[in-house]
A and B are shown apart, each in its own frame.
Chain A
Amino acid sequence: MGIRSLKTASISTGAKRSKFWDQVATPDAYVHISTVTVGAGGQPTIDFGTIPTGYKHLEIRGVVRTDSGNSSDALILKLNGSKSVYTHYLYGNGAPSAGGVGSSTTVGNTINVAGGGRTSGVFSGVWIMVQDHESSNKYKTSMSFGGYYQVGTGGEQAIFDNTFSTTSPITTVSLYVQSTASATTYNFAQNSSLSLFGIKGQQ
């Protein structure tokens, strides 16, 4: 039996006991790549730059608020410098008649987030997943889940699916925020923070 690798659970210590099993130590399958936290004054983009290779999927988690005067704005994901070309979503804001589904080929909205028109301290929770991003023959997609709530006033929530027009491996990831109704862009507000994770899988 060949010893390929060891981990502490495989080892019995002690002067007269030494036991090795033929185990393969599994490296972490879920790896933190980078976190960007916005400081005073805000910033227009959250840019993770060139991402390391060797992951099957990407995940982004964090909290976001913009510096607009709006109640909510659009958080937009860019892969290799381009936003998505098709969006489909399930949306609700607590009003029985307001929930629904929709689609868009223009804004590229990845999830709605709290705007600066909300009370200070109100942020959106954000979860985004990009699957099989290193593939060289598949159009890239993302799934998102997020929402916010201003206690005493209201909030909203949604799940989004986005399709990007590239089949190339994704090497750069960045995000920005803009109006849901126009091309006006805003800054991420202070304390906005997004973390990028890589998930291992068979390539």
Chain B
Amino acid sequence: MTHKLLASGTLGSTASYIDIDVSSYSGYKHLELHTYALFPSTGVGGTKIYFNSDTASDTNYACCYTESNNGSIAGATIGGLYINYTPNHSSSNIPSATTYINNFNVSGVKKPVMSRFGASNMIGMYTGAWNDTSAITSIRLSSWTQSFAAGYSYSLYGLV
């Protein structure tokens, strides 16, 4: 099957991160990750992504974004590799994202990561990279500013 669900889950309680093992998916070339982000409190919330055992710091990750939440375009370059974000999470302002990790298990390529994200009051895109050419064998979705709430869900698809 060309496009297959590899893993999915929904948090039953608050957590600071979610780990996904992709070491057994060497038969796939590209990954596509869908996230529906819930946070315990109102305010800023987001998700950063890490790979393999390189989870201790943001040193080897960075991204830039272009977003709009008021009709004008804003952008910035930031350390860490973000895939979704909201400046003011609430029950009616929930960020979701589709993230592309192409050629995730080839060597020689510092893995580019692209995300399209949005919430009820903003829309944007992230592109970033992991500064490492290793094949990706595991993914960590890490909460930023505040934890993930119960109900945070993800689905990971593999493409040959």
Judge whether A146 and B73 touch: CB under 8 Å.
Answer: no
- B16 on the interface (CB 8 Å rule)? no
- A122 on the interface (CB 8 Å rule)? yes
Contacts of A32 in B (CB 8 A): 2, 159-160
Contacts of A99 in B (CB 8 A): 66, 73-75
Contacts of B128 in A (CB 8 A): 149, 155
In chain A, what residue has the closest Cβ to B133? Answer: A121
Q: Which of B100-126 contact A (CB under 8 A)?
A: 100-103, 106, 108-110, 112-114, 116, 125-126
Judge whether A157 and B3 touch: CB under 8 Å.
Answer: no
| Number of B residues, CB within 8 Å of A | 39
Which of B74, B102, B106, B133 is the most central at the interface, judged by chain A CB atoms within 10 Å of its CB?
Answer: B102
Whole-angstrom CA separation of A81 from B46 in the bound complex: 43
- A148 on the interface (CB 8 Å rule)? yes
Chain A interface, DSSP helix/strand/loop, else mixed: strand
Contacts of B65 in A (CB 8 A): 92, 94, 157
Judge whether A149 and B63 touch: CB under 8 Å.
Answer: yes
- B56 on the interface (CB 8 Å rule)? no
Whole-angstrom CA separation of A73 from B1 in the bound complex: 34
In chain A, what residue has the closest Cβ to B78? Answer: A94
Whole-angstrom CA separation of A159 from B74 in the bound complex: 15
Q: Which of A149, A156, A197 contacts B62 (CB 8 A)?
A: A149
Contacts of B140 in A (CB 8 A): none
* Mask of A153-181 contacts with B, CB within 8 angstroms, 1/0: 01111010000000000000000000000
Q: Which of A62, A101, A147, A149 contacts B125 (CB 8 A)?
A: A147
* Mask of B69-91 contacts with A, CB within 8 angstroms, 1/0: 00001111110000000000000
Contacts of A74 in B (CB 8 A): none
* Mask of B1-42 contacts with A, CB within 8 angstroms, 1/0: 111000000000000000000000000011000000000000
Q: Which of B113-156 contact A (CB under 8 A)?
A: 113-114, 116, 125-129, 131, 133
- A201 on the interface (CB 8 Å rule)? no
Judge whether A193 and B64 touch: CB under 8 Å.
Answer: no
Judge whether A154 and B77 touch: CB under 8 Å.
Answer: yes
In chain B, what residue has the closest Cβ to A153? Answer: B62
In chain A, what residue has the closest Cβ to B32? Answer: A61
- B61 on the interface (CB 8 Å rule)? yes
- B93 on the interface (CB 8 Å rule)? no
Shortest beta-carbon distance from B132 to chain A in Å: 9
- B60 on the interface (CB 8 Å rule)? yes
Shortest beta-carbon distance from A198 to chain B in Å: 9
- A82 on the interface (CB 8 Å rule)? no
In chain B, what residue has the closest Cβ to A122? Answer: B110
Residues of A at the B interface (CB closer than 8 Å) are 28-32, 35, 61-63, 90-96, 98-101, 121-127, 145-152, 154-157, 159, 190-191, 193, 195, 197
